[in-house]
Amino acid sequence: MEYKEIIKRSTPEMDKAIAYFERELSKIHTGRASAAIVEDLVVDCFGQKMPLKQLAMISIPEPRQIVIQPWDKSYFEGIQNAIKQSQLGLAPIADQNVIRISMPDLTSDYRQGLAKVISKTQEEARQAIRRLRDQAWSEIQKRERDGEVREDDKFKAKDELQKIIDEYGKKIEASGERKKKEIAQ
């Protein structure tokens, strides 16, 4: 087996780590309403736990407002409780058949807290990428010891892996900085 195949197998996993990182960033609210903020909240409904997006339509009628319209009125209370119990700091308001959420103003302290959360999320993504790199490198070293990969190829693989890690690191950094700019506005 060539080292390139090992590297090729690890890049889809790295792509998944980046996609997960992007989803986590989208959940951090920046004062602007976004369905991503609430859609994955787990709602306890009739003894089952389901994501909010499976129980209601989520819309954004105004830049700072989220409207949740449950598919069934029996979901109403469970959805409200899930929003209140979440650590998002949102206050749902019942309005006939819908739940309205107004996005709070971002204070400077809150912005700083969000920036720290973003930095922490970035570091977790970097660690996930490094773990995948280490797994690929371990496999390459093992194959080299078993005589399946030449020593020269092993060092080429190490350089190639580092280039890939650097590319993913740049993606993580760019996404994090973009989100921090959104918060600062």
Domain chopping of the chain, boundaries: 3-26+107-184, 35-102
The share of the chain scoring above pLDDT 90, in percent, equals 16
Residue pair 119/176 in contact (Cβ under 8 Å)? The answer is yes
Average pLDDT over residues 56-64: 85
Tell how strand 65-70 and strand 56-62 pair up. antiparallel
Average pLDDT over residues 61-70: 85
CATH entry, 3-26+107-184, from 3.40.50.2020, 1.10.132.20, 1.10.3720.10, 1.10.1060.10 = 1.10.132.20
| More reliable by pLDDT, 54 or 15 | 15
The answer on pLDDT for 30 being more than 70 is no
The answer on pLDDT for 1 being more than 60 is no
Mean of the per-residue pLDDT values for the chain?
A: 84
What pLDDT is stored for residue 90 in this prediction?
A: 75
Residues 82-104 pLDDT 10s: 888 876 677 888 888 888 888 77
Fill in the amino acid letter for 139. Answer: E
| More reliable by pLDDT, 10 or 46 | 10
- What CA–CA distance (Å, rounded) separates 35 from 99? 13
Average pLDDT over residues 34-53: 80
- What CA–CA distance (Å, rounded) separates 39 from 180? 22
The answer on pLDDT for 127 being more than 90 is yes
End-to-end CA distance of the chain: 51
CATH class of the structural domain 35-102: alpha beta
Average pLDDT over residues 112-131: 87
Task: State the DSSP string of 69-134.
Answer: EESSGGGHHHHHHHHHHSTT---EEEETTEEEEEPPPPPHHHHHHHHHHHHHHHHHHHHHHHHHHH
Confidence of residue 179 (pLDDT cuts 50, 70, 90): confident
What pLDDT is stored for residue 170 in this prediction?
A: 92
Average pLDDT over residues 170-176: 91
